[in-house]
């Protein structure tokens, strides 16, 4: 369990400090709301998602580009839905 908590702390930081304000405003609140409830597999998926470059992440969250098959999961579907809502201004 201690390893999962370290991973959650690292992911929390990464979600809040992406380097682009737009992603900080989406990923940070997602992490605040959901990170504590993610299981080990979901944390691995989120780690893989966050290892992608910011312009690609923004395009997926904004709906400009579809999420690649290799990153598709129930957790990333929740994240993308959350991101689209936030970026539309409805989830702010």
The pTM score is: 0.91
CATH number of 2-87: 1.10.150.250
- The encoded tokens of residue 50 equal 């966050």
pLDDT value at position 7?
Answer: 96
Neighbour count for residue 45 (Cβ, 10 Å): 19
Measured between alpha carbons, how far is 17 from 67 in angstroms, rounded to an integer? 22
| Tens-place pLDDT, residues 24-49 | 999 999 999 999 999 999 999 999 99
Q: Do 59 and 65 touch, CB atoms closer than 8 A?
A: yes
Identify the band that residue 19 occupies on the pLDDT scale cut at 50, 70 and 90. confident
Sequence spans of domains, the chain: 2-87
d(CA 72, CA 48): 11
């Amino acid at each position: 369990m201690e390893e999962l908590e370290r991973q959650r702390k690292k992911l929390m930081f990464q979600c809040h400090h992406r380097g682009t304000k737009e992603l900080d405003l989406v990923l940070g609140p997602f992490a605040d709301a959901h990170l504590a409830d993610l299981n080990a597999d979901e944390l691995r998926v989120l780690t893989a998602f966050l290892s992608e470059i910011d312009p690609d992440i923004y395009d997926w969250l904004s709906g400009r580009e579809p999420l690649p098959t290799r990153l598709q999961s129930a957790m990333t579907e929740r994240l993308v839905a959350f991101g689209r809502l936030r970026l539309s201004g409805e989830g702010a």
